[in-house]
């Protein structure tokens, strides 16, 4: 038997219905914030993700699905959404003459070679959004507001935004130097990965899972102490805006995020101090890194799978329709044609309708009525049909009525 791959799963049944509900909620809030939908290809040139996300990041070093196609091209399965959206932005020259920001959202499958565990998979979905063209801190606030309110609309009222600032490149470089200076004497007390990170990406030491409780990490210099004047005042303005909008946030000075492209604002969304449900921030250098003209950008991506898990764990009521409107039963084969066209007619009029496709006995069809949890059932028999009549029965009250066949749609419209 061929089974699914580790870290992947099938989406069907109730999970598919829950996802459809979450999709609707998220698409509708994005519409209110005036973000348009985008989907980028599942595979792109490896260079895009390697350079965009950063060669020294864990994602590129350990997690990307890199392969050569039959034409010997180096390709990578999309591990995150931002780099592809930036490629689209540059390729379509959307940077020219920007009088308004370009705002897009996506809902896409991502691929990372990670150790699968609850809420972490190798194929997973991210819902995310990106805003290009504005360097005003108001756009950081708008992105945080969209992320925050999306979770609340989904019923996760207790989410907190963990917030930090890495400052501009000058502040980030000063901080990086301080960190290297600080960690160097302690190098042998850090895990192997952190020893490597000290050379390649010292900021990442701060969110090492292995050394998380190590006092060396806890006492490390904090980003906010190394922000230059402009970066500091920007961060203060952002906090003011979040206060004004009543957004629940906490400063987390160890939050650096795993990808290389961030500067200034970085944030994550957490529930009950558990793992991150989503994360994002500002990436003013990324368009340039990917060969476009210098353009500011800010965005966020939600771990979709983790969000649905969190909704389930927190007993959020996810509306799932587990009933159908009407089941058409037929007494004998001679009524099948009527069942067939009537089912289509009902469906085209907006009802969820079922009929028997398995040549079951009438008794077994009645069992299907209950299995499908039908609100109404209609029994078709030749004697009634000759007079253009059918019997409609309310499956809950068990009340039944004989009506004209042509009035079925109106009848159900009035009763459902």
Nearer to ligand HAM, 107 or 121 (CB): 121
Task: Please answer whether residues 190 and 183 qualify as being in contact, where contact means their C-beta atoms are separated by less than 8 angstroms.
Answer: yes
In whole angstroms, the minimum distance from the beta carbon of 38 to ligand HAM comes to 13
Interface characters, 114-153, with ligand HAM (x: CB under 6 A): x----xxx--x-x-x-x-----------------------
In whole angstroms, the minimum distance from the beta carbon of 27 to ligand HAM comes to 17
Task: Please answer whether residues 356 and 363 qualify as being in contact, where contact means their C-beta atoms are separated by less than 8 angstroms.
Answer: no
Rg (CA), the chain: 28
Nearest residue to 249 (alpha-carbon basis) of 137, 168, 144: 144
In whole angstroms, the minimum distance from the beta carbon of 81 to ligand HAM comes to 5
Nearer to ligand HAM, 17 or 120 (CB): 120
Question: CB within 8 A of 395, min separation 6: which ones?
Answer: 369, 370, 374, 375, 376, 377
In whole angstroms, the minimum distance from the beta carbon of 6 to ligand HAM comes to 12
Rounded Cα distance between 222 and 206, Å, is 10
Among 27, 191, 241, 276, binds ligand HAM (CB under 6 A): 276
Nearer to ligand HAM, 133 or 279 (CB): 279
Nearer to ligand HAM, 78 or 393 (CB): 78
User: For residue 320, with 0-12 CB atoms within 10 Å meaning exposed, 13-18 middle and 19 or more buried, which class applies?
Assistant: middle
Rounded Cα distance between 172 and 167, Å, is 6
Nearer to ligand HAM, 60 or 353 (CB): 60
User: For residue 71, with 0-12 CB atoms within 10 Å meaning exposed, 13-18 middle and 19 or more buried, which class applies?
Assistant: exposed
Nearer to ligand HAM, 52 or 202 (CB): 52
In whole angstroms, the minimum distance from the beta carbon of 180 to ligand HAM comes to 24
Interface characters, 288-327, with ligand HAM (x: CB under 6 A): -----------xxx-x-xx---------------------
Rounded Cα distance between 251 and 259, Å, is 19
Rounded Cα distance between 218 and 171, Å, is 21
Query: CA 391 → CA 299, 326, 336, 416, distances in Å?
Result: 57, 12, 16, 16
Among 46, 64, 76, 82, binds ligand HAM (CB under 6 A): 82
- Give the footprint of ligand HAM on this chain (CB under 6 A): 80-82, 112, 114, 119-121, 124, 126, 128, 130, 258-259, 276-281, 283, 299-301, 303, 305-306
């Amino acid at each position: 038997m061929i089974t699914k791959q580790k870290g992947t799963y099938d989406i069907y049944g109730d999970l598919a219905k829950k996802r459809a509900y979450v999709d609707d909620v998220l698409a509708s809030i994005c519409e209110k914030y005036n973000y348009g939908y985008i989907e980028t290809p599942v595979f792109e040139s490896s260079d895009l993700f390697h350079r965009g996300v950063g060669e020294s990041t864990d994602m590129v070093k350990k997690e990307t699905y890199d392969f050569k196609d039959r034409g010997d091209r180096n390709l990578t399965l999309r591990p995150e959404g931002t780099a592809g959206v930036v490629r689209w932005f540059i390729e379509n020259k959307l940077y020219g003459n920007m009088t308004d920001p370009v705002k897009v959202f996506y809902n896409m499958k991502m691929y990372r070679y990670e150790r699968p565990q609850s809420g972490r998979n190798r194929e997973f979905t991210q819902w995310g959004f990106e805003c290009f063209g504005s360097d005003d801190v108001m756009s950081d606030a708008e992105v945080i507001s969209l992320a925050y309110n999306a979770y609340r609309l989904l019923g996760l009222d207790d989410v907190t935004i963990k917030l930090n600032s890495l400052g501009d490149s000058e502040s980030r470089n000063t901080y990086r130097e301080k960190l290297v200076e600080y960690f160097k004497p302690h190098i042998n007390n850090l895990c192997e990965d952190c020893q490597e990170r000290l050379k390649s990406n010292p900021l990442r030491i701060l969110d090492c899972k292995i050394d998380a409780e190590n006092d060396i990490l806890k006492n490390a210099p904090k980003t906010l102490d190394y922000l230059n004047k402009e970066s500091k005042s920007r961060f203060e303005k952002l906090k003011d805006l979040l206060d004004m909008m009543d957004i629940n946030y906490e400063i987390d000075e160890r939050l650096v995020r795993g990808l290389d492209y961030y500067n200034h604002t970085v944030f994550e969304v957490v529930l009950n101090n558990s793992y991150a449900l989503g994360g994002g921030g500002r990436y003013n250098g990324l368009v340039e890194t990917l060969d476009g003209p210098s353009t500011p950008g800010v965005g966020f991506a939600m771990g979709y799978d983790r969000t649905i898990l969190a909704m389930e764990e927190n007993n959020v009521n996810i509306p799932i329709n587990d009933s159908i409107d009407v089941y058409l039963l037929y007494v004998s084969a001679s009524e099948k044609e009527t069942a067939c066209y009537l089912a289509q007619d009902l469906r085209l009029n907006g009802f969820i309708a079922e009929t028997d496709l398995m040549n079951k006995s009438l008794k077994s069809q009645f069992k299907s009525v209950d299995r499908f949890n039908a609100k109404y059932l209609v029994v078709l028999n030749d004697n009634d049909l000759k007079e253009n009549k059918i019997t409609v029965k309310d499956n809950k009250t068990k009340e039944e009525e004989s009506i004209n066949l042509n009035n079925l749609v109106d009848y159900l419209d009035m009763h459902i």
